[in-house]
Amino acid sequence: MTVDNSLPHCVALRIALAARQLPDTSSGQLLRILLAALDEPLTEIKLNGLTVKDLKNAADGSLREIDGALLRQALSTLKGENEADASAQIPQPQPYHEGEMPHSIRLACTSNSGERLDGHFGSCARFLIYQVSATEARLIAVRPAPNIARLSVDHSAERVALIGDCDLLCVLSIGGPAAARVVNSGIHPIKRGAIGDIQPLLTELQQVLAGDPPPWLAKLRARAAAEQRSAQAETTP
- Select the more confidently predicted residue: 108 or 89: 108
Q: If pLDDT is split at 50, 70 and 90, which confidence band does 206 have?
A: very high
d(C-alpha 53, C-alpha 39), whole Å: 16
pLDDT value for 5: 53
- Contacts (Cβ under 8 Å, ≥6 apart) of 60: none
Label residue 222 by pLDDT band (50, 70, 90).
confident
- Residue 181 pLDDT > 80, yes or no? yes
% of residues, the chain, pLDDT over 90: 34
Distance of CA 226 to the CA centre of its chain: 28
pLDDT confidence of residue 28: 85
Q: Is pTM, for the whole model, over 0.85?
A: no
Domains recognised in the chain with CATH numbers: 9-78 (1.10.150.590), 89-235 (3.30.420.130)
For the stretch 56-91, pLDDT in tens is 888 888 898 888 888 888 888 888 876 554 545 789
C-alpha gyration radius of the chain: 20
What's the CA gap between 135 and 103, in Å, rounded? 10
